[in-house]
Amino acid sequence: MKILVTVKEVATVEDEFEIEGTEIASQYLGADLNEWDDYAVEEAVQLQEAGLADEVVTVTIGPEECEQTIRQALAKGADRAVRVWDDALEGVDLLDVNAKTEILSAVVEAEDPDLVLTGVQAGDDSFGATGVSLAEEIGAQWGAVVNSLEHDLEDGVASVRRELEGGVEELTEIDLPAVLTIQTGINEPRYASLRGIRQAQRKELDVQALADIGIDESAIEAQLELTEMYEPESESDATIWEGSADETASELGDLLREKGVTQ
Partner 1 sequence: MTDVLAVTDHRRGELRDVSYEIITAGRELADETGGDLHLAVISGTVDEFAEKLDREGVDAIHTVDYGEEFNHDVYTQTITQLYDELAPQYVLAPNSVNGLDYAPAVANELDLPIVTDTIGLETDGETLIATREMYGGKVETTNELEGEAVVTIRSAEWPQAEGTGDAAIEAFDAEIDEDAIGSTVTGFEEVGGGDVDISEADVLVSVGRGIEEEDNIPIIEELAEALDATVSSSRPIVDNGWLPKNRQVGQSGKVVTPDVYIAIGISGAVQHVAGMKGSDTIVAINTDPNAPIMDIADYAIHDDLFDVVPALTEEFQ
Peptide bond into 177 cis (omega under 30): yes
Site residues (CB under 8 A) for partner 1, limited to 61-120: 94, 96-98, 101
Q: How far apart are CA 4 and CA 40, in angstroms?
A: 10
Out of partner 1, ligand FAD, none, which partner does residue 178 contact, by CB within 5 to 8 A per kind? partner 1
Site residues (CB under 8 A) for partner 1, limited to 200-259: 223-232, 234-242, 245-246, 248-250, 252-253, 255-256, 259
- Cβ proximity to partner 1: between 4 and 81 the closer is 4
The answer to whether residue 185 forms part of the interface with partner 1 (CB under 8 A) is yes
Least distance to partner 1 from the beta carbon of 243, Å? 9
Q: How far apart are CA 256 and CA 263, in angstroms?
A: 10
Phi, then psi, of 148 in degrees rounded to 5? -160, 135
Phi-psi region of 261 (alpha: psi -120 to 50; beta: other; left: phi over 0): beta
Give the dihedral sign, CA 249/254/257/261. Answer: negative
Q: Name the nearest CA neighbour of 74 among 195, 206, 199, 191.
A: 199
- Cβ proximity to ligand FAD: between 77 and 131 the closer is 131
Encoded one letter per residue, x for contact with ligand FAD by CB under 6 A and - for no contact, window 96-135 reads ------------------------xx--------------
For binding to ligand FAD (CB under 6 A), which residues are involved? 120-121, 145
